[in-house]
Amino acid sequence: MASELQAPSTQQDIENGVTAEKTTSTPEMMYLFCLSSAAAVVQSVALLGWLTAKYAPADEINDQINQISGGQVQSIDGLKTEVGFIGLDPPLTTLVFFAALFVIPTAVTTPLSMFTHWKPAAVLFGSQQVTDTLRGQFAAPFRMKYLYGVQAVMNGIAFLSLKYTFFWPLALNILNVVLYLVGLALVCKHFQNPNVPTDLATTAGSMMGVSAAASRIDSLEQEVKNLKKELEALKNEMVAVEAKI
């Protein structure tokens, strides 16, 4: 009788493909972790660059003096004026700086989140809760694609600085635009893998730090234990009824 009650549930699990192992640990996820780590370092250096960048408009000032004097004064020797990039032309220059600043927490968190997908069994900072939170933030395909797309756009804001001249931190932002676009392509390739969970139920299981298969097996074991208890209780009742008869 126990086997008859257990069979439909087990058969249903087999039909639903529970036995097929689902995992987020793919080669693409390893590349995403390495790429995101490099991008986080580049982003930090770029932020430092925008903070310390100086602009020396000596040539422009000399040109203006030349025009005002009607060509009589070509230039002024020793003219040297430097202006910090942030205060050069607000709010445009401050926009470039704060775009680099605000993306820093996300840039640092991204490789940590990718690591939890690449190594699902790992526990970061000795806390399963922190690990599950980092994993769950971007477990859904759309959210992970959005993560890389937004960071590429935020780095693209630095192109506004070309209005004045080419500042060296812009080269780092351009590098990060390329890195995050490559990352976006890797995310798309990652979720094309048939063994990567994409449905809501399996993704929720991934957020909890266990695979859907393992979760379902635990549930089945609990169901079997409950059935055994019910059968034992039914057997005791039948014995009691027979004794009365």
* pLDDT tens digits along 204-229: 455 444 444 455 566 677 788 888 88
The pLDDT of residue 63 is: 55
Instruction: Calculate helix-pair angle for 128-137, 200-207, nearest 10 degrees.
Output: 150
Q: Which residues contact 7 (CB under 8 A, 6 or more apart)?
A: none
Q: What is the pTM of this model?
A: 0.69
Best mean pLDDT range from 76-80, 96-100, 200-204: 96-100
Q: Where are the domains of the chain?
A: 22-210
pLDDT category, 13, cuts 50, 70, 90?
Answer: very low
The pLDDT of residue 209 is: 46
